[in-house]
Structure 1
Amino acid sequence: MSETPLYLQVADDLRARIESGELPPGSRLPSVAELIEQYGGSNSVPSSAYKLLVNEGLVVSRHGAGHYVRGTETPELLVRQHRRRSEDSPFAQGAAEQGAVGTWQHESTTEKATEATAVRLGITAGDPVMHTSYVYLADDRPVMLAESWEPLAVTGQSLIALPEVGPYAGVGVAARMRVLGIDVGDPVERVRARPATRSETQGLGMTPPAAVLAIERTYYDQATGRPVETADVVMRGDRWVAVYGQVPQQN
């Protein structure tokens, strides 16, 4: 029987997987529950292992989002590309693939739709909507803001009514809507460059004058044509390039 404390065994195994490249920079590490299932012991075992790896600089801890392999410095240029995914956040996955750890802050409130929001969602002004504000960060640096609205007539009686709460928290719009049997396909987007507002420069940590990419995005139910989510996305113009379409795979 090994005399090495169990938490050190867990740390050694994770360290070896990181150093071998099996767990690349930006990848999410097993949860505390998953490590307990694999190694046994109490919550203190994986918690102590992760504390050690964080102190060594190999792992970063994201409150409410788990533990990740520390990446290299955040890329100077982040690529935003449409790829429909079945799980996890498209932002988090895209950031991880580029060597950064993507996290976000959020706040959701029930509101009455304004005239502008109602037009975009095809509902009546005053109808209830779920409004969620996001701040997206790459390696703890704000890179994107978003304001999202969903009609509660679509989501209100379901497990996905609150986008960041419950069993489907943290997944993209397409994956959440599939829970309701809705296929949204690719969103319709209007993209333009413009000067950042004062609040945007503050939220994104930019120095004015600064430019942003402003995206008006709407997801539609492909079966009915009904809008099910619309959002205003604001991206740092000095940090992002948006890529549309995909290069065909060669046989």
Structure 2
Amino acid sequence: MGHPKPPPHQVVANDLRRRLDTHEWPVGQKLPSRARLAEEYGVGPNVIQKAQEHLIAEGRLQGRTGSGTYVTEPRERRRMIRSRHPQRRGSPFRAVMDELGRAGTCKAHSEARTPAPHDIAQRLGIQPGEECVRTRYEFLEDARPVQLSVSWEPMAITEGTPVMLPEMGPLAGKGVVERMHSIGVDIVTALEVPRPGRATQEQANLLGASRGDLVLVIERTYYDGDGRAVETADITVPDARWEVAYETAVDPP
């Protein structure tokens, strides 16, 4: 009994990848139209589209609205060691970018008085519907989104303080740990639970990927000295660009 044949789009993607590796189309060149490639491979245009989407997600191709599909420099898959950077000032993402010598910035949009959904309430140890500040982040490398996050903070902790909105006020951009410390809440523990997932259409649009591409979703929660959860976030990392690792110190004998 032989192995099942791969789907047509995978066959086409493999052959397009081979042609890119042999520099049949140099970096910056526009690929033939989907109709022409479909005729060449004897498949429908939707198969070509799906094959190209895989190569776009890999960073081998770039789609330009209204113009076509172009060859781009292969994208390096790099390692992000999240546990290497103490959770004190700023964000682990900025620390990783500094380590790589790249410009790491972020865009953020906060919404106050957002009712906590059931799963977020469980993580924060509050009642569903309790008011939180929800902040959506786009983390940028050299002005391109490469990581996403949605953060939740109970308003019972921050309401009426200068740091209620994470990216506004005197400590904007300083990170959860420093902001909470400024109002007398000392974070002592960060728990991260990584889980594999698939990119939603919204996430794919922001990350320049395809819907359904593999992502790593890191569920992170910060706790104070009394074991109270003071912030929780879902951090979405595209698998095609980042390998996430955790480094553990070992005590000498």
Tell me the TM-score normalised to structure 2 length: 0.64
Query: Which residue of structure 2 aligns with residue 220 of structure 1?
Result: 223
Equivalent of 2:90, from 85, 88, 91? 88
> How big is the shift at 1:108?
0.2
- Label 1:185 to 1:241 Cα distance change in 2 as closer, same or farther (>3 A): farther
**2:132 equivalent to 1:134:** no
Taking only aligned residues, the RMSD between alpha carbons, in angstroms, comes to: 2.2
- The aligned residue for residue 6 of structure 2 is none
Given candidates 151, 154, 158, the residue that maps to 2:154 is 151
Contact conserved, 2:104 with 2:141, CA < 8 A, in 1?
yes
> What count of residue pairs does the alignment treat as equivalent?
177
Residue among 107, 120, 123 paired with 2:123: 120
**Counterpart for residue 196 of structure 1:** 199
1:243 aligned to 2:245?
A: yes
2:146 aligned partner, one-letter code? V
Q: In 1, Cα distance between the equivalents of 2:194 and 2:110?
A: 25
Query: Could you say what secondary structure the match of 1:201 adopts?
Result: helix
How do 1:1-251 and structure 2 match up within 5 A?
Answer: 76-82=77-83, 83-110=85-112, 111-222=114-225, 224-247=226-249
Larger Rg belongs to: 2
CA apart distance, 1:85: 4.6
Q: Deviations over 1:55-113 (max 9, x none)?
A: xxxxxxxxxxxxxxxxxx99641414132254333322320210211111110011122
| Aligned-pair CA distance for 1:165 | 0.5
Contact 2:79 2:245 in 1 (8 A): no
Equivalent AA in structure 1 for residue 89 of structure 2:
E
- TM-score calculated relative to the size of structure 1: 0.64
Partner Cα distance (1:202, 1:124) in 2: 33
Identity %: 38
Structure 1: 5+ residue stretches without partners = 1-72
Paired residue type of 1:184: I
Structure 2: unaligned runs, 5 residues or longer: 1-73
Task: Give the drift of 1:232.
Answer: 0.9
**Contact 1:148/1:231, CA 8 A, preserved across alignment:** yes
Cα separation, 2, equivalents of 1:246 and 1:116: 29
Using the TM superposition, give the Cα deviation of residue 138 of structure 1 relative to its aligned residue in structure 2, in angstroms: 0.9
